[in-house]
Structure 1
């Protein structure tokens, strides 16, 4: 399994708008990607949003950031207080129920 992690700092009060836009725009794009497994989003108290996308395909995990960054900048730009950070890599431990 492979993961793409994105970290975004939102302007205060923008979490609800971020959630609405991502559900309507980015999630459908990811679901169409080969090997898409899951998408999770965590919001911390300081309005930092961390998202985790999981894929079975390494190349798609790596390219998901290239695919989504233009969408993020175009659609989420007004909500951001800093540029997004992105990393991707292999999941080496996976525990769950």
Structure 2
């Protein structure tokens, strides 16, 4: 998307969606908060992180960054940790979506 915003005003999202084993949402959240989140907070341009436990054991992670390259490579950076710590809780591989946030409004 081409617009007149400078890079410091842009936000990029790394969204991951997957299925977890039934009854593991709380443990998944505990592991993410203790392990992945501290690593993400040190990544260049880290802005925010949201973990959503949806219906039917769906888990959605939204990471926001000011740096496009970091957003695009955040999963690869964390992959060894994800495989070791979250892999046993996943029921299927995760789907990855990366892109620029074009509308946002946080109250």
TM-score by length of 1: 0.94
Please list, as runs of the form range in 1=range in 2, the aligned pairs for 1:29-68 lying within 5 A after superposition. 29-68=39-78
Deviation at 1:96, TM superposition (A): 2.3
- Alignment partner for residue 83 of structure 2, among 73, 80, 85? 73
Which 5+ residue runs of structure 1 have no aligned equivalent?
Answer: none
Q: Secondary structure at the match of 2:13?
A: strand
Please list the CA deviations of residues 9-60 of structure 1 after superposition, one character each: whole Å capped at 9, or x if unmatched: 1000111110111011000000000110000011112110001000001111
Q: Give the root-mean-square deviation of aligned CA atoms.
A: 1.0
TM-score by length of 2: 0.86
Say which one has the larger Rg.
Answer: 2
Q: Secondary structure at the match of 1:46?
A: helix
Q: Secondary structure at the match of 1:42?
A: strand
